[in-house]
Amino acid sequence: MPSIISPLRTAIREHKRALGAWVTFPSPALARVVARTKGLSWVLIDAEHGLITDQHYYDMVNAVAACGVSPIIRIPADQPWMIKRALDSGAHGVMIPLIESAVGATAVVNACKYPPQGIRGFGPMFTDATGALLSDYAATANDDIVIIVQIELSNAVKEIDAILATGVDVAFIGPFDLSINMGVPFGGTEHEAAIETVRAACQRAGKYSAMYCMDGEQSAKRIAQGFNMVSVTTDIDTLVAGMESAVSRV
């Protein structure tokens, strides 16, 4: 039976590192340019802090998936209807911000999966980007959709073992919010200890550990630390860096 063609899910199943990039502008063309970057297995379509809304999902998902890369949508909040709209657009997975406990993570998993494993309503008419036939989608989606929860709150670090036991696939650290929520300096001893706590818990649980990084140097550091999945840049950071570099050479 056909399954969703998901490079990120494949990387997870084969225990390979997964490099990705962030897209914040509501542009399918830009998403496609980013997705064509060699070495990426996923592109994050950011509807939390980016300028993207659910009206942009379908075209951006298709633009990314057409390049053989997994489109992942970060929704604004942990609402079941937001999860459903993101997945029904054909996204290979969702990223949920600000998960604090196993209760919240369980609700997310339930919203991502069809009965009997969850409560997701059936209506994936626009999931052609996944490569699965509509009639087969429900039978494969529960196993193929990648569920990513963001660890950005101090309580989530304390509850990380319970969160990982709910059926999530990836714990993705948001280092900036985590530093602010903990009330400790970014990159300081306590901050780094919390980051390592999450990574080590993922390793014990057989889950993917992931972290937001802003450039290749940061990404390489976290991969060397043992993280399985990292972002390497964002569209806006790359644009600004490129413009500043060009101007500085004149």
> Which residues are catalytic, by number?
49
Residue 205: HSE in the Cβ half-sphere, 13 Å Cα cutoff: 21
Q: Comparing C-alpha atoms, which of 93, 41, 101 is closest to residue 72?
A: 93
Q: Which amino acid is at 17?
A: R
63 and 53 in contact (C-beta within 8 Å)? no
Q: Comparing C-alpha atoms, which of 223, 193, 220 is closest to residue 210?
A: 223
Terminal alpha carbon distance of the chain: 57
Cα–Cα distance between 236 and 111 in angstroms, integer? Answer: 31
Asked if omega into 185 is within 30° of 0 (cis), the reply is no
Cα–Cα distance between 108 and 212 in angstroms, integer? Answer: 20
209 and 202 in contact (C-beta within 8 Å)? yes
